[in-house]
């Protein structure tokens, strides 16, 4: 949800923090702030602004930005509001009443009201409506009581706090010291090669420019980061914790727009290349020209996966839509029963999970709080947890028993695009490999599908060539107030995803439905004002979809149809058609989703909206 950065070293801290906040802005963008602790100042320097990080940047004086060559500690935050409206007062960092402690926080302190009352009884007053200021003053209370030991004060405060947090805290008396901690919200510490600079971030992106040596904090750990010292980490019972320093491998070019006007369209166009990365070394062509699928996760847990009689997929948002496609793939190719659950529902409804079940958790970020909680529940019940994750080293990747990274690189646009096709590709490889091992698909089917999967990146390029045409056809639809998306079989989840994309970035109400369900309700909405997107590629239900289209046509609905290349029939009925190359039915979503992404993008751009950072949304939802 929110993004946290921190810096400790002798470079000018403000520009490093600001740049880091820009890179984390996808996590939240309703207000931002930084706090600096410099030798030359007698108190913290605090800068906060409502809105985007660029607003904050504009209020920081040049002399602060250019200060160099003296040890400085700094923390910063970009916020996605939970408690209290987006405002400067509610923006982080929050200063304690004494002015001696300053803190940034990502997460929710659930018992903040109770803690606030206790602090008020002790004479504390508050400037904001946030739970974070309560946590800051709680740290301050212990800090004053325990002889100004910041690490101990943080441990004491966190022992009283219920909820989720990633925090970074500074003390005024020591400008070479930051304490940070996490529980259910991610936090990474970067260490420079010379051990003379430290970086803190909600993920590793703000630090890869400076270092690749990182520590991923674990839940309920508190790290003492001090210039001139090794990082020390303790648990909440104050015992010393062991930790590893890891090498992070992030491609810095993935963090720039590479000549595109927005991250979203860059990421849409990245997809052919991303899928090649996702399949590299996994879908392999052998010397005799046949294909094999090599997935180490499958190899290591083969017996358990083969034994599974029941698979439960848990996910949220776009990842849940990928899960719906995964269900069809696994059921078709492996003949194993699959349920797809919203992680948020699954975790609270005492689901039936047997020891031999496999729970597949799908997540782009690897940090979604509900998905993490669903994993914990599945593990308690003894199921094997299989993660399909993009965020390398993320909480879900670490919590899962095994899994497959989708390897599509950092996704910055808040509306997920390349992660979706990466997830569907991994699910396809998994279903194919498992079906092959189980003998539930023929060798011929396996070979043909593997071959066709390797052709998908090329075919995606052909769909992407229609970007200008889709841009043009989107114009009349920018004024629509509602959209309907209809598809059947593998295209039904694509219809849901198309509707979600449009809602997320253009703020137009849209619904996805199985096409045949239209007559059970949505048809009542159809009139000359209503655009209806049909996913009408060739498959056994093609004629039935055409009948659905005719029902819409006779009610004057405006039809945009995604059809298979060379289709002659649908262009006679639809106002606009978008062609995709022919492929196997099970692989159609990998192509048919591209027009959905491009259509949503162009409608939103034409409406003048911020497609990369749509209102009220966050890329990574680390609160429930
Ligand atoms: C947020 C994002 C969505 C994403 C969902 C699940 O709502 O805005 O794009 O699909 O979270 O996130 P995950 O990282 O678990 O895939």
As a whole number of Å, the CA-based R_g of the chain is 26
Which tokens sit at 178?
């930051």
Is the predicted pLDDT of residue 361 greater than 70, yes or no?
yes
CA 255 to chain centre: 15
Q: Which atom of ligand 1 is nearest to the CA of 319?
A: 16
| Greatest mean pLDDT range, 19-28, 414-423, 476-485 | 414-423
Q: How far apart are CA 350 and CA 353, in angstroms?
A: 9
Q: How far apart are CA 208 and CA 185, in angstroms?
A: 20
Q: Classify residue 407 by its DSSP letter.
A: -
Residue-level pLDDT at 249: 73
Pocket of ligand 1 (CB under 6 A): 316-319, 363-365, 368, 371, 414, 416, 617, 619-621
**Ligand 1: centre distance to CA 414 (Å):** 8
**Ligand 1: centre distance to CA 331 (Å):** 25
**Ligand 1: centre distance to CA 315 (Å):** 9
Is the predicted pLDDT of residue 394 greater than 90, yes or no?
no
Residue-level pLDDT at 393: 81
Which tokens sit at 84?
């209290």
* Best probe residue, ligand 1, of 1, 184, 318 (max atoms within 8 Å of C-beta): 318
Q: Which atom of ligand 1 is nearest to the CA of 343?
A: 15
Share of the chain above pLDDT 90, in %: 75
pLDDT bin (cut points 50, 70, 90) of residue 378 is very high
The per-residue pLDDT for range 60-119, each reduced to its tens digit, is 998 888 776 677 899 999 988 777 788 899 999 999 999 999 999 998 898 999 999 999
Indicate the average pLDDT of the chain.
93
CA end-to-end span of the chain, whole Å?
Answer: 10
**Ligand 1: centre distance to CA 108 (Å):** 18
Tell me what percent of the chain is helix, strand and coil, each rounded to the nearest 5: 40, 25, 35
Q: Do 185 and 367 contact (CB within 8 A), yes or no?
A: yes
Which residues, at least 6 apart from 502, have a Cβ–Cβ distance to it below 8 Å?
Answer: 483, 485, 508, 510, 599, 600, 603
pLDDT bin (cut points 50, 70, 90) of residue 554 is confident
Q: Which atom of ligand 1 is nearest to the CA of 371?
A: 15
Q: Closest residue (by CA) to atom 4 of ligand 1?
A: 317
| Catalytic position from the list 2, 180, 274, 316 | 2
Q: Closest residue (by CA) to atom 7 of ligand 1?
A: 317
Q: Do 3 and 78 contact (CB within 8 A), yes or no?
A: yes
Q: How far apart are CA 198 and CA 190, in angstroms?
A: 6
Q: What is the 3-state secondary structure (H, E, C) of 143-198?
A: HHHCCCCHHHHHHHHHHHCCEEEEEEEEECCEEEEEEEEEEECCCEEEECCCCCCE
Which tokens sit at 279?
């399949």
Give the Å distances, CA to CA, from 142 to 151, 246, 570.
Answer: 10, 33, 71
Q: Which atom of ligand 1 is nearest to the CA of 415?
A: 9
The per-residue pLDDT for range 439-462, each reduced to its tens digit, is 999 999 999 999 999 999 999 999
> Would residue 619 show up in a list of annotated catalytic residues for this protein?
yes
pLDDT bin (cut points 50, 70, 90) of residue 6 is very high
Give the Å distances, CA to CA, from 582 to 462, 565, 585.
Answer: 11, 6, 9
Q: Closest residue (by CA) to atom 5 of ligand 1?
A: 317
Q: How far apart are CA 607 and CA 587, in angstroms?
A: 32
| Catalytic position from the list 266, 327, 418, 619 | 619
* Best probe residue, ligand 1, of 621, 623, 624 (max atoms within 8 Å of C-beta): 621
State the average pLDDT over residues 283-312: 92
Residue-level pLDDT at 1: 66
pLDDT bin (cut points 50, 70, 90) of residue 553 is confident
The DSSP code sequence of 517-578 is: GGGGTGGGG-STT-EEEEEE-SSTTHHHHHHHHHHHHTTTPEEEEEEETT--SGGGT-SEEE
| DSSP-assigned beta bridge partners for residue 106 | 166
**Ligand 1: centre distance to CA 413 (Å):** 11
Q: Which atom of ligand 1 is nearest to the CA of 416?
A: 9
Q: Between 253 and 326, whose confidence is greater?
A: 326
**Ligand 1: centre distance to CA 173 (Å):** 40
* Best probe residue, ligand 1, of 80, 314, 368, 617 (max atoms within 8 Å of C-beta): 368
**Cα angle for residues 248, 104, 316 (degrees, 5° grid):** 60
**Cα angle for residues 577, 612, 395 (degrees, 5° grid):** 110
Residue-level pLDDT at 42: 84
* Best probe residue, ligand 1, of 25, 319, 361 (max atoms within 8 Å of C-beta): 319
Q: Which atom of ligand 1 is nearest to the CA of 617?
A: 8
Residue-level pLDDT at 253: 65
**Ligand 1: centre distance to CA 505 (Å):** 14
- 620: three-class secondary structure by DSSP: coil
Residue-level pLDDT at 159: 97
State the average pLDDT over residues 603-621: 90
Q: Which atom of ligand 1 is nearest to the CA of 391?
A: 14
* Best probe residue, ligand 1, of 314, 317, 325, 596 (max atoms within 8 Å of C-beta): 317
> Would residue 136 show up in a list of annotated catalytic residues for this protein?
no
pLDDT bin (cut points 50, 70, 90) of residue 302 is confident
For the chain, the residue count is 624
**Ligand 1: centre distance to CA 612 (Å):** 14
Alpha-helical segments (H) within 280-335: 296-300, 302-307, 317-334
Residue-level pLDDT at 567: 93
How many Cα atoms are found within 13 Å in the side-chain-facing hemisphere of 460? 28
**Ligand 1: centre distance to CA 314 (Å):** 12
Q: Closest residue (by CA) to atom 3 of ligand 1?
A: 317
Is the predicted pLDDT of residue 386 greater than 90, yes or no?
yes
The per-residue pLDDT for range 211-252, each reduced to its tens digit, is 999 999 999 999 999 999 999 999 999 999 999 999 987 766
């Amino acid at each position: 949800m929110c993004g946290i950065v921190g810096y400790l070293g002798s470079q000018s801290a403000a520009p490093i923090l600001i740049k880091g906040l820009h890179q984390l802005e996808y996590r939240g963008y309703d207000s931002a702030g930084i706090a600096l602790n410099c030798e030359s100042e007698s108190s913290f320097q605090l800068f906060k602004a409502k809105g985007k990080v660029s607003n904050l940047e504009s209020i920081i004086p040049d002399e602060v930005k250019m200060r160099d060559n003296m040890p400085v500690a700094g923390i910063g935050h970009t916020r996605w509001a939970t408690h209290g409206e987006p405002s400067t007062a509610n923006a982080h960092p929050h200063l304690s009443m004494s002015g001696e402690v300053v803190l940034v926080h990502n997460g929710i302190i659930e018992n903040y009201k109770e803690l606030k009352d206790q602090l008020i009884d002790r004479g504390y007053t508050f400037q904001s409506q946030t739970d974070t200021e309560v946590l800051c003053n709680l740290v301050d209370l212990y800090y004053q009581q325990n002889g100004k030991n910041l690490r101990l004060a943080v441990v004491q405060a966190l022992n009283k706090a219920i909820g989720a947090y990633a925090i970074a805290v500074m003390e005024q008396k020591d400008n070479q010291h930051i304490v940070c901690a996490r529980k259910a919200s991610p936090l990474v510490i970067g260490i420079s090669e010379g051990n003379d600079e430290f970086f803190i971030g909600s993920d590793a992106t703000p630090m890869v420019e400076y270092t690749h040596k990182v520590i991923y904090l674990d839940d309920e750990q508190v790290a003492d980061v001090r210039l001139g010292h090794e990082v020390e980490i303790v648990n909440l019972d104050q015992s010393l914790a062991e930790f590893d320093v890891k090498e992070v491998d992030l491609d810095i070019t993935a963090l720039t727009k590479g000549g595109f006007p927005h991250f979203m369209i860059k990421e849409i166009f990245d997809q052919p290349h991303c899928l090649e990365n996702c399949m590299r070394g996994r879908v392999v062509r052998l010397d005799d020209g046949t294909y094999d699928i090599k997935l180490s996760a499958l190899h290591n847990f083969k017996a358990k996966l083969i034994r599974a009689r029941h698979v439960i997929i848990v996910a949220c948002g776009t990842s849940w839509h990928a899960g719906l496609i995964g269900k069809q793939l696994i059921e078709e190719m492996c003949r194993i029963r699959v349920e797809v659950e919203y992680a948020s529902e699954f975790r609270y409804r005492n689901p039936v999970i047997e020891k031999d079940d496999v729970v597949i958790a799908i997540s782009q970020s690897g940090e979604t709080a509900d998905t993490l909680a669903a994993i914990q529940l599945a593990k308690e019940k003894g199921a094997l947890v299989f993660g399909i994750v993009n965020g390398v080293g993320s909480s879900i990747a670490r919590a899962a028993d095994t899994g497959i990274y989708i390897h599509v690189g950092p996704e910055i646009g808040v509306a997920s695009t390349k992660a979706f096709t990466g997830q569907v590709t991994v699910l396809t490889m998994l279903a194919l490999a498992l079906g092959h091992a189980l003998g539930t698909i023929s060798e011929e089917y396996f070979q043909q599908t593997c071959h066709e999967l390797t052709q998908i990146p090329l075919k995606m390029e052909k769909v992407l060539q229609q970007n200008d045409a889709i841009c043009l056809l989107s114009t009349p639809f920018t004024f629509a107030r509602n959209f309907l998306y209809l598809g059947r079989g593998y295209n039904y989840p694509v219809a849901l995803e198309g509707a979600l994309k449009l809602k997320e970035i253009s703020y137009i109400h849209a619904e996805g439905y199985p096409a045949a369900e239209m007559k059970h309700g949505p048809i009542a909405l159809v009139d000359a004002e209503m655009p209806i997107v049909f996913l009408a590629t060739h498959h056994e239900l093609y004629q039935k979809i055409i009948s659905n289209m005719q029902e819409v046509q006779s009610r004057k609905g405006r039809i945009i149809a995604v059809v298979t290349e060379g289709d002659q029939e649908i262009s006679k009925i639809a106002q606009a058609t978008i062609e995709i190359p022919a492929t196997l039915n099970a692989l159609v979503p990998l192509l048919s989703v591209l027009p959905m992404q491009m259509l949503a993008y162009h409608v939103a751009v034409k409406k003048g909206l911020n497609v990369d950072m749509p209102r009220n949304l966050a890329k990574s939802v680390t609160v429930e």
